[in-house]
Amino acid sequence: MLPLIFLASLLALPADTFGAPTDVVPVSGQAISLLRRNQYPRDVTEWGTFAKSQRDNLIAKYGGPVKQKRSTGYNSIIDQQYDSSYYGSLAIGTPAVSFDVKLDTGSSDFWLAGPSCGTSCGSVSIYNPSSSSTFQNLSTSFSIVYGSGSAEGYVAQDTVQMAGFSVSSQGFAVVDAVSQGLLASPVSGFLGLAWQSLASSGQMPLWQTLASNNVWDSALFAVRLTRYKNDSTAQDLEPGGVLNMGYTNSSLYTGSIDYIDITGTPSYWYIPLTSLTVQGNSISIDSGTTAAIDTGTTNIGGPASSVQAIYAQIPNSQPATGEWEGYYSFPCSTTVNVEVSFGGATWSISPVDFAFTQTNSTECIGAFFETSTGTGSPSWIFGDTFLKNVYSVFRYNPPSVGFANLSSVAVAENGAGGAVPSATIGTISAAVTNTSDAPRRHALSALSTLLFLAFSAVLFL
């Protein structure tokens, strides 16, 4: 989901002012207590991994050889409301508590509903700062406006665990108010997966902390999103695919990954949009047109003139009205084939995804809608309608977005049903337990931890 107020990030102070987290530290080797979920079940192999990681952590902590060992991890995604939204899970605080968060490559802030949120956050689980011994209040205000809502609160830091990685002093926001409809239970907040320069909080996003600290085998993350809109037996929550951190899973795609460098300074994951065809006919695209690749947006938004040109290729389509303003209706009996290119290979969007929803027995609403974005923002937003059709890779260095065809294994996961995955915080396997590239920061953060502990001790006496 794209934050509307790009201005906010321009006004934000440089990250260093807030002390962007760069230290990645070992967790203590204890099982994470997941308050709302079943404890991660361990089999013998997992106990082995656990034992090994505990030993590695101790070696790192007590002055053994500093190994710059890298690792990978994954997070199971959940498909919410028939491909409307995709969320994952992480754990935060000490003791760690797990939360479901919308995975959003179209924004860069991580935030969770806080104790003051009250009714505006509905019945979602709340992050409670007073229950975490590692909570640090940065006491700066936070506010973000997305295309479909807004959130505000204050900026803080805490230890965050996700996909087997742990980051101490990860910046995020505790939210006091959200606009209605932004959070759909059980989702408690957003995990922004775009670049720091876009963060309203000024904080470095979790993924970027991990990538820039060389924690990952490969400095990239990848996303595979399932399709359930096509399944008449689909439930409100279904297995949604996976977020791979530090690697690409070659079982999920075929051929090679076609990487396109991102346009300009990294902020959004934006790449050139070079070609768009509907029913085999080209839609004219201005040169220099860019598209943001956005897991947090359900559909595909583009400039009014281009969207009109798309529906002009579909007989009997017409602008929709009322709450559907900006969308178009078309006869459901028409199979619409769209192909898109970002400068490299050409990718197809399934007609099933193009037909976003049906309003009566014959009329469908198309997934492409008219939108206008601000200057400096990409003019197109490619959301889940497109992403369900490919394996997507978000690469740190060189900054680029890659796509590959889905494998038959991946395609078979569409509509396959089965249990909704529980929180996959994972057994912490982060091989890098100390960052030697930022010793000064590390020392400072150790000092602040000591001060914090001393302060807490005073409070508890």
Contact residues for ligand NAG (CB under 6 A)?
Answer: 60-61, 66, 74, 129, 137, 139, 154, 227, 230, 249, 251-252, 255, 258, 345, 350, 352, 359-363, 405, 409, 414-415, 434, 436, 439
- Extended beta strands in 66-201, E state: 73-80, 85-92, 97-104, 110-113, 136-146, 149-162, 165-178, 187-192
Tokens 């876009």: give the residue.
198
- Least CB distance from residue 377 to ligand NAG, whole Å? 28
Q: Which two tokens stand for residue 228?
A: 């359930």
How many CB atoms sit inside 10 A of residue 63's CB?
Answer: 7
Query: Which of 14, 439 has the CB closer to ligand NAG?
Result: 439
Closer residue to ligand NAG (CB): 153 or 266: 153
Give the list of residues 6+ apart from residue 92 with CB closer than 8 angstroms, or none: 99, 112, 127, 132, 158, 159, 160, 161, 170, 172
Catalytic residue, candidates 23, 79, 83, 104: 104
Select which of 56, 100, 258, 294 is catalytic.
294
Question: How far is Cα 251 from Cα 407, in angstroms, rounded to an integer?
Answer: 7
353 catalytic residue (yes or no): no
Residue 37 beta carbon to ligand NAG: minimum distance, rounded to whole angstroms: 20
State yes or no: cis peptide before 95, omega within 30 of 0: yes
Query: Is 83 a residue of the active site?
Result: no
For ligand NAG, give the closer residue by CB, 152 or 363.
Answer: 363
Of 268 and 347, CB closest to ligand NAG: 347
**Which of residues 252 and 262 has its CB atom nearest to ligand NAG in the complex?**
252
Contacts of 47 (CB under 8 A, 6+ apart): none
Task: Report, in Å, the least distance between residue 389 CB and ligand NAG.
Answer: 9
For the bound state, the minimum distance from the C-beta of residue 83 to ligand NAG, rounded and expressed in Å, comes to: 11
The residue type of 139 is S
Give the 3-state secondary structure percentages of the chain, helix then strand then coil, rounded to 5: 20, 35, 45
CB of 3 to ligand NAG, least distance (A): 21
- For strand 220-225 and strand 237-245, is the pairing parallel, antiparallel, or unpaired? antiparallel
CA distance 83 to 56: 40
Q: Residues with catalytic annotation?
A: 104, 294
